[in-house]
Structures are given as C-alpha cells and as structure tokens.
Amino acid sequence: MDFKPLITLLAIVNPLAIVPFFIHYTQDFSLAQRQRTIWVSSFAAFVVIAASALLGLQILAFFGISLASFQVGGGLLLLTSALSMLNAQPAEARVNADEVHDAEAKAAMGASIAVVPLTIPMLTGPATMSTVVIYAEKAENLTQLGTLVAYGVVISLATAVCFTLATPIARFLGKTGINVMTRLMGLILAALAVEVMADGLQKLFPLLARGI
C-alpha cells in the first residue's frame, strides 16, 4: 500500500496549524456549537477530498486540460505551499481580511464557520484538491481509488481529533511547537512537490526522461 498520498495530504492539510484559528473563531461558542463545528468541518474536509478523487479527472477532461500540465501547475502550487510552511505559515491559501471579518461576525452570531473558512480554504484549498486529482490519475484500479478516498476519512478523523483537543494541544505545543511542526511538514511537502513537477515535465517534454 502506497502511503505517499496520505503523507502528502497530512502535510498540506496540517490540522495542527489550524488549531489557533479554530480556538479564535469558536472562543464564544457553546460546547454544542463547538462540537457541531468540529463535526461539520471534519466531514466537509472528507467530502472535498472524496469529490476531488472521484470527479477531478472528469472536470479536467471537460476543460481539456492535460494531466501533465495539471501536475506541473499543481506541483508549483504545492511548492508555494511548502515555502509558506517553511516560514511557519499554513500551507493553503488562507482567508483574506474580508473572510476573517465575516468569520468573526458569524462566530459572534453563533453561526457555523465550519465550512467557510475552516474547511475551505483553511483545511482543504486548491493545493489539497490538485494533489488528490494527481494521485487519483495514478490509481490503477478501483481498490487504489477507494484507498485514496479512505485517506480522506483519515484526514477527517485527524482534523476532528486536533479540533477536539485544540485547547490542550495549543497549551502543550505552544506557538513555537506548532511552528516547528509546520516547518517539518513544509520540508516534506517541498520534496514531494519536486517529484510531482518532475513527473509532469517528463510527460510534457519526453526528452527530459532520457536525460537530455
């Protein structure tokens, strides 16, 4: 069984890095509201990953985009995410100022902020989706594709655990600990991004595969 897709997804999603955001957005929530937010954001993360795995290639075909081009573009996106993580910033393209204010307003009203911005774009943004599509293309049978979808369940559970234990995790690791974990994940993600881009470039330019 190939665990590289799971490692890549864990590095990109990195729910530990989202713990401070979760605490901030839910600080005025009741216990029931916080639990609902945890459940909805975790399930939404799984839905995004599963949909990308099952429908991503069809969407590319609809727009006439070759997988090789998508691999190069996705690899560049992963590399950009990795560089952000090496600077102790979350991997995905995060919320802008307007989204932050909107999320805070929703939190103040007791509304759920589980899907936006916690799940999209914080947990599962463009880098996550492109990664899943790339690995979905490499699946040789339904079993491997099902395994990729199952990895979405693992990501969902990891997110639920991190959010449920958000307060003790933040207290134990502190800002420094979370930054160290983020940088370590960024280093792993950078290496994986280079592999994805190299594979795509070899498909676009076959001469590269011959060492020319």
Q: Which ranges constitute the DSSP H helices of the chain?
A: 4-13, 15-25, 31-63, 67-86, 97-109, 126-138, 142-164, 166-204, 206-209
Most confident of 33-47, 89-103, 190-204: 33-47
Q: Give the number of other Cβ atoms within 10 Å of residue 57's Cβ.
A: 17
Q: Up-side HSE of residue 88: CA atoms within 13 Å toward CB?
A: 6
Q: Up-side HSE of residue 13: CA atoms within 13 Å toward CB?
A: 35
pLDDT of residue 43: 96
CA 184 to chain centre: 16
Mean pLDDT for the stretch of residues 137-141: 90
pLDDT exceeds cutoff 70 at 98: no
Looking at per-residue pLDDT, the higher value among 8 and 117 belongs to 8
pLDDT exceeds cutoff 80 at 88: no
Percent with pLDDT over 70 in the chain: 86
CB 17 within 8 A of CB 178: yes
What's the rounded Cα separation, in Å, for the pair 179 and 175?
Answer: 6
User: In this predicted structure, which of 11-15, 121-125, 162-166 has the lowest mean pLDDT?
Assistant: 121-125
CB 124 within 8 A of CB 45: yes
87 burial via Cβ count (<10 Å: 0-12, 13-18, 19+): exposed
pLDDT of residue 15: 92
pLDDT of residue 94: 53
pLDDT band at 96 (very low <50, low <70, confident <90, very high): low
CB 55 within 8 A of CB 135: no
pLDDT of residue 121: 79
On average, the pLDDT of the chain sits at 85
Mean pLDDT for the stretch of residues 106-114: 66
Mean pLDDT for the stretch of residues 191-197: 86
User: In this predicted structure, which of 144-158, 178-192, 197-211 has the lowest mean pLDDT?
Assistant: 197-211
pLDDT of residue 45: 96
